[in-house]
Structure 1
Amino acid sequence: MALDPSFIGRSYPPTEPYELGREKIREFAIAVGDLNPAYLDREAAKALGHPDVIAPPTFPFVLSYQAAAQVVEDPELGLDFSRVVHGDQKFSYRRPLRAGDRLRVEITIDNIKSLAGNDVLTVRGELVEESGERVVTSVMTLVARAADEQAGE
């Protein structure tokens, strides 16, 4: 069943603040294989003009994906997550994420369309520092694959 396009523009409550710690940044950098000293060493980050270590560019996915659970689990939307694949991910930065940031994520459904029988859902997450500063915009595209009618799905 196609997703209802009237959900375009629906926003969800901001997440609770997430304090970005040095250790989480280090763990993420190691996990993705990016050993840039600015992610691992406070002094190296300071030498580049940052007040503390900064997070790798894809780190916002951790927060935006968790926040997008509000969309995925919205019973009114009716998204069948068992059919969802992650189609695309983009980030737009105003500044790097850095250790000590306290971030909330504001989630909005930006678009819903049908493409070859599949539902394509675009979800925007605004990562906002506790002070109100907008830091990163995350745009995630989810594709809910169409049921295979020949297989009886």
Structure 2
Amino acid sequence: MNPEIQGRQYPPTAPYLVGREKVREFARAVQATHPEHLDVEAARAAGHADVIAPPTFPIVIQELTLRQLLEDETAGVDFTRVVHGDQRFSATRPIVAGDELTAQLTVTSVKSLGGNDMVTSESVITDADGEHVVTATSTLVVRAA
């Protein structure tokens, strides 16, 4: 793994339009049964424009940025040895169906521990107005050969 990628920032992703059915599918997959994730009227009654995504939904958008890192040959990440080590989300507001979101990844840390490499990155996810929605922080462990 190339330690010089620490601090590298990748270009913003193409906009991702959050669909109502994608939110519902994700909610069912993670067993998020709150009505605001599934029912438009329940979400509107709570003050939202449409159904809101479960708190872990940003992984869908973050995956687009992580793909940039994993496909970057200069990063030296051997995906066959990758284990997902940690995942965190820090949200400003919920993701709502109809949001058009863009994400930008920055590699915040590269280190070696016990013969394994660890790369931590932050994907800052913003809406169509450029306003912060959520930051997804992920640590990937690249197991030693």
Taking structure 1 as the reference length, the TM-score comes to: 0.92
Aligned length: 145
What's the CA shift for 1:76? Answer: 0.6
Q: What root-mean-square deviation, in Å, do the aligned CA atoms of Structure 1 and Structure 2 show?
A: 0.8
- 3-state SS in 2 of match to 1:67: helix
Corresponding residue number in structure 2 for 1:61? 59
Task: Report the Cα distance in structure 2 between the residues aligned to 1:45 and 1:95, rounded to whole angstroms.
Answer: 14
What's the CA shift for 1:50? Answer: 1.3
Among residues 25, 35, 38, which one is paired with 1:40 in the alignment?
Answer: 38
Corresponding residue number in structure 2 for 1:146? 144
What's the CA shift for 1:46? Answer: 1.3
Task: Report the Cα distance in structure 2 between the residues aligned to 1:44 and 1:105, rounded to whole angstroms.
Answer: 28
Alignment deviations for residues 48-98 of structure 1 (CA, whole Å, 9 cap, x no partner): 121211000000001102221110111011111100000010000000000
What's the CA shift for 1:5? Answer: 2.3
- Deviant stretches of 4+, over 4 Å: none
Identical-pair percentage: 54
5+ residue gaps, structure 2 = none
Task: Report the Cα distance in structure 2 between the residues aligned to 1:140 and 1:128, rounded to whole angstroms.
Answer: 17
5+ residue gaps, structure 1 = 148-153
Computing the radius of gyration from Cα coordinates, the structure with the larger value is: 1
Letter paired with 1:92:
S
CA contact (8 A) 2:2 2:74 kept: no
Among residues 110, 113, 116, which one is paired with 1:112 in the alignment?
Answer: 110
Corresponding residue number in structure 2 for 1:22? 20
Task: Report the Cα distance in structure 2 between the residues aligned to 1:86 and 1:96, rounded to whole angstroms.
Answer: 24
Letter paired with 1:5:
P
Corresponding residue number in structure 2 for 1:151? none
CA contact (8 A) 2:13 2:64 kept: no
Task: Report the Cα distance in structure 1 between the residues aligned to 2:135 and 2:23, rounded to whole angstroms.
Answer: 18
Task: Report the Cα distance in structure 2 between the residues aligned to 1:65 and 1:102, rounded to whole angstroms.
Answer: 16
Corresponding residue number in structure 2 for 1:52? 50
